[in-house]
């Protein structure tokens, strides 16, 4: 599928932006070849960032999760859509109020950015991945948006990979609020160029010296293409060879998994 000259081209990059879900793990299962790939990054002094559209966990929690799976990674190597969302809202409305629907990673990022939680008169309704969404939350969010609160999604993913299979993600969860309020959400996270620019700044690398590795054509690969970053699609997550042709663009490289980089 990929020859040694292409692998060597990827290996020559100084920086790597890697998705997590579907690239490093499915749920609580570390994928084959990931340890070898991580060791290769570390041993060769590569700059790398694990940049995830998931808003559930903070960098500290992601560090702890990977440690449970057998990888010791410093917090500085993580950036999430929750952090991107909080930073964006801070630039738009410092000290504002939000009604947040999501897990601790999102709520804590908003608190750290100076926002207060307000269920009655918020400036924004913000939704990220959550397993506790219910009708009451959808109803409240819809009414708040209809009264003038701006609707924000942490990422545009409709599904996310788990060890059980694909499950609903932010775009799917926020759609009832969009439909009932008549308002369209603004999404942070990939492929939003704001997140990619932050990722490059954190790496300290130019786009020409960087490769983005992901499992999704509609977020990871298009984010790289639109940011002029070389792209590598792995087939360990959402996208398989059968649906690549559903998109009017293609990745530069296709890998069975990240282990292809370190093991060839």
- Express each pLDDT in 167-219 by its tens digit: 899 999 999 999 999 999 999 999 999 999 999 999 999 999 999 999 999 99
**CA 250: distance to chain centroid?**
19
Whether 161 has a pLDDT exceeding 70, the answer reads yes
Task: Extract the tokens encoding 214.
Answer: 């992901």
Which whole-number Å values give the CA distances from 132 to 58, 104, 128, 150, 179, in the listed order? 18, 12, 11, 22, 20
- Express each pLDDT in 207-223 by its tens digit: 999 999 999 999 999 99
| Catalytic positions, written as ranges | 19, 21
DSSP letter string over 203-225?
A: HT--GGGEEEEES-IIIIIHHHH
Residue with tokens 């692998």: 7
The average confidence (pLDDT) of the chain is 95
What pLDDT is attached to residue 160? 83
Q: Rounded to whole angstroms, how far apart are CA atoms 230 and 42?
A: 21
pTM of the model: 0.92
Domain 82-187 class in CATH: alpha beta
Say if 4-53+190-263 and 82-187 have the same CATH topology: yes
Binned at pLDDT 50, 70 and 90, residue 84 comes out as very high
What CATH number should be reported for the domain whose range is 4-53+190-263? 3.40.50.1000
- Express each pLDDT in 228-239 by its tens digit: 999 999 999 989
Whether 256 has a pLDDT exceeding 70, the answer reads yes
- Express each pLDDT in 89-148 by its tens digit: 999 999 999 999 999 999 999 999 999 999 999 999 999 999 999 999 999 999 999 999
Domain layout of the chain by residue ranges: 4-53+190-263, 82-187
Check: CB of residue 159 under 8 Å from CB of residue 167: yes
Sign of torsion, CA 195 193 56 25? negative
What pLDDT is attached to residue 1? 62
């Amino acid at each position: 599928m990929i020859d040694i000259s292409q692998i060597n081209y990827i290996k020559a990059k100084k920086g790597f932006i890697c998705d997590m879900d579907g690239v490093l793990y499915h749920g609580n299962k570390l994928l084959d070849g990931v340890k070898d790939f991580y060791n290769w990054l570390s041993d060769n002094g590569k700059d790398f960032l694990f940049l995830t559209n998931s808003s559930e966990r903070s960098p500290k929690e992601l560090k702890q999760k990977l440690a449970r799976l057998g990888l010791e990674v410093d917090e500085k190597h993580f950036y999430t859509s929750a952090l991107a969302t909080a930073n964006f809202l801070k630039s738009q409305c410092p000290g504002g109020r939000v009604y947040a629907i999501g897990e601790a990673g999102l709520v804590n990022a908003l608190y750290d950015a100076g926002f207060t939680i307000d269920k009655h008169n918020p400036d924004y309704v913000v939704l990220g991945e959550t397993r506790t969404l219910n009708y009451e939350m959808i109803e409240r969010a819809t009414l708040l948006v209809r009264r003038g609160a701006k609707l924000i999604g942490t990422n545009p993913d409709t599904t996310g990979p788990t060890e059980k299979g694909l499950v609903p993600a932010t775009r799917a969860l926020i759609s009832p609020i969009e439909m009932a309020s008549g308002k369209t959400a603004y999404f942070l996270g990939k492929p939003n160029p704001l997140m990619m620019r932050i990722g490059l700044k954190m790496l300290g690398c130019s786009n020409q010296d960087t490769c983005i590795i992901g499992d999704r054509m509609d977020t990871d690969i298009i984010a790289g293409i639109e940011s002029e970053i070389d792209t590598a699609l792995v087939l360990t997550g959402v996208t398989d060879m059968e649906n690549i042709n559903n998109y009017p663009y293609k990745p530069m490289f296709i890998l069975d998994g990240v282990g292809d980089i370190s093991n060839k």
